[in-house]
Amino acid sequence: MGIYSPAVGVRQSTIQDTGFTGPLGFISQSGTIAITFTVEAQPDGVSINKSVSFGNGVILDSPDYLDYFGRDDAIKAIGMYLEGVKDGRRFFNMLKEVAGRKPVVIWKGGQTGAGGRAIASHTGSLARPQPVWEAVVRQAGAVNAATSDELLDTLKSLLYMSPVRGNRLALVGGSGGESVTITDSFVKAGLEVPPLTGKSYDELATFFSLVGAGCRNPIDPGSNWRQLKRILDITERDDNIDCLVVIFVWSAMRMFSREQLNDFMNSVISMKNKTKKPVLAIIPFYAIPEQQQQAREMVTKLKTGGVPVFSTAERAARALKNTMDYYSAKS
């Protein structure tokens, strides 16, 4: 399907927007995935700089585009959808070189036997065993993604979060059972939700009401939402915490005015701008029109402030773990 360069108005499809630019380069062996991914990435806060759909790669193959995108200083991260490579050694060498300069995240099609057979009739690429492919990508310093959502979420984390240097999280928000299940999602992904230090609990005790709330971590603010800035300040200073995750669920947010919600968003953006610890937010979408409108406004506000936002705890956890693994491999 060719080239998509929104800054100059070149498109792969009429459904793609133009007149902007961004930090992401996208390389795809599938035209449909190239178009769909770029359309979905824009409203999710990840703007495209350039994208190419190269199909069978008769003349130019994935290493050529990797080389080009790797040398483009305006492209800060690269996403790829691949079904196979023609010259494995050339691809590995180029991937290792480019991944040493900027993040590269790859979603490999044909992860199953049936998917491999489908590749044969699509691009004619030779299917490789998935464990071998994943090992090659890791050794090159790039990141594997299993789905389109994971690809987008991981790129968003790498572009907009501070480097992730540890796996200990403070989960601020949620409500009751949602706090429990959200905690499970992060722990299952290989992250930790540890108790805070005694100093932090002493600070929280000076104002935090435990009526309908909890502060053990996860922190369920309950009636303490208006103290969100103080809660974030305390958890950010905590020596047991490497990353801050703020969760805005409808059951709590529906109680507040637009002005109060705006104050909450500003507190998160302010924290993101002043700390070296990664900050991210989770805003679920429910099948309630009023909630969906509120969620869209909140997401827009946070994205404009540079805070990555995820729709589920599972997506946030997977992206955060991938980002942590990326920085661990580079250290």
Residue finishing a domain among 126, 160, 194: 160
pLDDT of residue 109: 87
DSSP string, 183-243: HHHHHHTT-B-PPPPHHHHHHHHTT---TT-B-SSSBB-GGGGGGHHHHHHHHHH-TT-SE
Question: In which domain, by residue range, is 128 found?
Answer: 2-160
pLDDT of residue 205: 96
Beta carbons of 3 and 16 less than 8 angstroms apart: no
State the average pLDDT over residues 139-148.
Answer: 96
Is the per-residue pLDDT at 217 higher than 80?
A: yes
How far apart CA 312 and CA 287 sit, in angstroms, is 14
How far apart CA 25 and CA 94 sit, in angstroms, is 16
Residues 198 and 299 both lie in one domain: yes
Beta carbons of 162 and 276 less than 8 angstroms apart: yes
Kind of pairing between the strands at 2-4 and 48-53: antiparallel
How far apart CA 171 and CA 207 sit, in angstroms, is 19
pLDDT confidence tier of residue 112, bands split at 50, 70 and 90: low
Residues 129 and 244 both lie in one domain: no
pLDDT of residue 110: 67
Beta carbons of 241 and 195 less than 8 angstroms apart: no
Residues 132 and 222 both lie in one domain: no
Backbone angles phi, psi at 48, to 5 degrees: -85, 135
State the average pLDDT over residues 78-84.
Answer: 94
Residue finishing a domain among 106, 126, 160: 160
pLDDT in tens, 2-51: 999 999 999 999 999 999 999 999 999 999 999 999 999 988 889 999 99
Per-residue buried b or exposed e for 122-135, using 16+ beta carbons within 10 Å of the residue's own CB: bbebebbebeebbe
Residues 182 and 315 both lie in one domain: yes
Q: Tabulate helix, strand, coil % of the chain (nearest 5).
A: 45, 15, 35
State the average pLDDT over residues 78-86.
Answer: 92
Tell me the CA distances in angstroms from 28 to 9, 66, 222, 230, 240, one per residue in order: 19, 11, 45, 45, 41
Residues 151 and 90 both lie in one domain: yes
Residues 316 and 174 both lie in one domain: yes
Is the per-residue pLDDT at 115 higher than 60?
A: no
Is the per-residue pLDDT at 245 higher than 90?
A: yes
CATH number for the domain that contains residue 19: 3.40.50.261
Residue 25 forms beta bridges with which residues?
A: 50, 78
Q: How many domains does the chain have?
A: 2
Residues 13 and 145 both lie in one domain: yes
pLDDT of residue 120: 46
pLDDT in tens, 154-164: 999 999 999 99
Residues 150 and 177 both lie in one domain: no
pLDDT in tens, 181-190: 999 999 999 9
Residues 146 and 188 both lie in one domain: no
Is the per-residue pLDDT at 95 higher than 60?
A: yes
Residues 243 and 118 both lie in one domain: no
How far apart CA 145 and CA 223 sit, in angstroms, is 39
Residues 177 and 134 both lie in one domain: no
Residues 221 and 155 both lie in one domain: no
The better pLDDT of the pair 60, 331 is held by 60
Residue 214 forms beta bridges with which residues?
A: 220
State the average pLDDT over residues 252-267.
Answer: 93
Residue finishing a domain among 110, 132, 160: 160
